[in-house]
Amino acid sequence: MNEAQTVTTGGTTTGSTPRLSTATLDRLPPAVKRPGYDRAAVTPGIVHLGLGAFCRAHLGVYTEAVLESGAKDWGIVGVDMLSPAIRTALKPQDCLYTVLNRIDGTDRLQVIGSFLDMLATGDQLAEVLALMIDPKIRIVTLTVTEKGYCQDPATGTLDESHPAIVADLANPTVPRSVPGLLTEAIRLRRAAGVTPFTVLVCDNLAQNGIKVRRIVTRFADLRDADLGRFIADTIAFPCTMVDRITPATQDAERAAVAAGLGLEDQWPVVTEPFRQWVIEDRFATGRPAWELDGAIMVDDVHPFEMMKLRCLNGAHSTLAYLSVVAGIETIADAMADPYLPSVVRRLWDEDLIATLPPVPGTDVPAYTVELEGRFRNPEIRHRTLQISSDGSQKLGPRLLEAAQERIAAGFRPSVIPLTVAAWMRFLLEVDENGTAYAVADPMADRLTGIARAHGGSATDLADALFAVTEIFPPELVADAGFRASVIGHLQSLKDHGVHATLAAFLGGR
Ligand code: CS2
């Protein structure tokens, strides 16, 4: 069941278990952590765009600690931009939700109160914009995924032909896209004489603040050059590195949370114990003291973000494409496979670690050992199919840029061509057991169309996909060795399957 299907409409529930809400908080068992501060006295200081599981396991938790410390002006209002599903599920709970950590079989539950309200742009756009120009709001945070920024993934610039961008440029006061919404809010705020907010991007993009500043400035520029200049000159877009593995919530976890709370929570989040947040400390109008809960405030996020994006997310994508094709359901299952852990070890040791700048206070090889442990965590059922989504947006920053750097430095990437071949094989939409799955990607129609037309031949398929310049930089696919390596792996994946390919790959070192 996907997340949207599990929500009851109108917040009513048919079960006999009472619902989590302000009124029922005092019924929670003592072991469940809950807000110890007076929520009614907290005012919003942050608008958060993109109300998925991740921000509730990350931003919501760090901010909870700030509110617990006595701060009263940093509550969050969450805005659902895709569908109103999470708002609809959580509003009847007064926006309270549970974070479930399962450690060695024991459930630890915390009810989070830092989200004071939730809105959805679909039917509350005017309220969202009104809130975004309120002087109390000093930060707009975002987790809208890579594709949410309407970028050309190969260049990290605004995709000016993106349908949402075309629509927002035609009708800029009723924006639907993220660049359109930010631009309109900044314009209205400026017109009202309100000090600009800071835009804090919390998505897995390399140099996320710099990239999104470029995208939003370009969008504004296309609307009005003066507005573009205003954004470039006055709005701060600090960079961040965010990390916490947080899969989509399953029904079994809802049931475990209900059992632990003695109350029904329609949309809890289940997450790992680990979390990390590195933030460039550049806020125009103040910020919560997130460091109280372990956030690392720095001048330069880049080394941290490169390490995380390449080592964690790059390994995730490698495991995901090989696993979906092999019919392996979760990352923990992949880490119990006889071959896959050795593949990611080689990815780190042979392709990625050498591309990273020194990371302050961090032993990168030790970081990858810790990653192995996080990936093996059997309590986190992180679906490989979930991670396989949006490959067109993810491959570049996670792996292709590293491959280019290795080639430029005179080395042959070892595992990255195998990942690319696995992604190409994945586009055929059926695994080795004959089970069909859907490719979720903003470019899915085009990519699966290419796979259907050319799937008969590894060379033709790879050639047709290498020609997609939104994904593959021309300099990378001009490298004959890289092309040959991808085609060789793809041929083997098609002819012999994942396990035989990995056995040969690992045996042939
Ligand atoms: C994952 C990330 O779905 C994916 O692509 O690689 O969501 C990953 O779990 C997070 O970035 C971990 O911080």
Same domain, 267 and 384: no
Residue 149 lies in a domain: yes
Residue 17 lies in a domain: no
Residue nearest to atom 5 of ligand 1 (CA): 387
Task: Please name the residue that has the structure tokens 């549970």.
Answer: 98
Are 108 and 29 in contact by the 8 Å Cβ rule? The answer is no
Pocket test for ligand 1, best of 62, 312, 317 (most atoms within 8 A of CB): 312
Same domain, 77 and 159: yes
Same domain, 281 and 318: no
Same domain, 127 and 173: yes
Same domain, 356 and 221: no
Residue 420 lies in a domain: yes
Are 156 and 239 in contact by the 8 Å Cβ rule? The answer is no
- The pair of structure tokens assigned to 192 is 């009202």
Q: Is the pLDDT of residue 5 over 60?
A: no
State residue 340's pLDDT score.
98
Residue nearest to atom 13 of ligand 1 (CA): 243
Residue 4 lies in a domain: no
State residue 421's pLDDT score.
98
> Of 236, 264, 298, which one is at a domain's C-terminal end?
298
Sheet of 276-280, strand order: 240-243, 276-280, 296-298
Reported confidence tier of residue 6, pLDDT bands at 50, 70, 90? very low
Enter the pTM of the model.
0.95
Alpha carbon 464 to chain centroid distance?
28
Residue nearest to atom 6 of ligand 1 (CA): 313
Pocket around ligand 1 at a 6 A CB cut-off? 204, 243-245, 312-313, 316, 386-387, 394
Pairing of the two strands 44-49 and 139-142 = parallel
Same domain, 291 and 381: no
Alpha carbons within 13 A on the beta-carbon side of 117: 15
Same domain, 338 and 265: no
Alpha carbon of 87 to ligand 1 centroid (Å): 23
Rounded to 5°, angle at Cα 462 from 419 and 326: 40
Ligand 1 atom closest to the Cα of residue 242 is 13
Q: Is the pLDDT of residue 146 over 50?
A: yes
Residue 15 lies in a domain: no
Same domain, 286 and 429: no
SS3 call for 18: coil
Alpha carbon of 330 to ligand 1 centroid (Å): 13
Q: How many domains in the chain?
A: 2
Ligand 1 atom closest to the Cα of residue 386 is 3
Residue nearest to atom 9 of ligand 1 (CA): 245
Q: Is the pLDDT of residue 361 over 80?
A: yes
- The pair of structure tokens assigned to 66 is 């700030």
Instruction: Over range 193-222, report the average pLDDT.
Output: 97
Residue nearest to atom 4 of ligand 1 (CA): 387
Domain containing residue 373: 302-507
Residue 2 lies in a domain: no
> Of 298, 315, 330, which one is at a domain's C-terminal end?
298
CATH number for the domain spanning 142: value is 3.40.50.720
Same domain, 67 and 160: yes
How many CB atoms sit inside 10 A of residue 272's CB?
21
Reported confidence tier of residue 15, pLDDT bands at 50, 70, 90? low
Dist. CA 168–CA 177, nearest whole Å: 7
Dist. CA 374–CA 246, nearest whole Å: 12
Ligand 1 atom closest to the Cα of residue 247 is 9
- The pair of structure tokens assigned to 16 is 């006999």
SS3 call for 383: strand
Same domain, 378 and 334: yes
Residue nearest to atom 10 of ligand 1 (CA): 245
Instruction: Over range 72-99, report the average pLDDT.
Output: 97
> Of 239, 270, 298, which one is at a domain's C-terminal end?
298
Residue 352 lies in a domain: yes
Pocket test for ligand 1, best of 335, 387, 399, 423 (most atoms within 8 A of CB): 387
Question: What's the alpha-carbon Rg for the chain, to the nearest Å?
Answer: 23
Same domain, 276 and 306: no
Going from the C-alpha of 115 to that of each of 51, 63, 98, 108, 262, the distances in angstroms are 10, 9, 12, 20, 22
CATH number for the domain spanning 457: value is 1.10.1040.10
Alpha carbon of 227 to ligand 1 centroid (Å): 34
List pLDDT tens digits, range 255-264. Answer: 999 999 999 9
Dist. CA 476–CA 169, nearest whole Å: 33
State residue 261's pLDDT score.
98
Same domain, 326 and 293: no
Alpha carbon of 364 to ligand 1 centroid (Å): 19
Residue 166 lies in a domain: yes
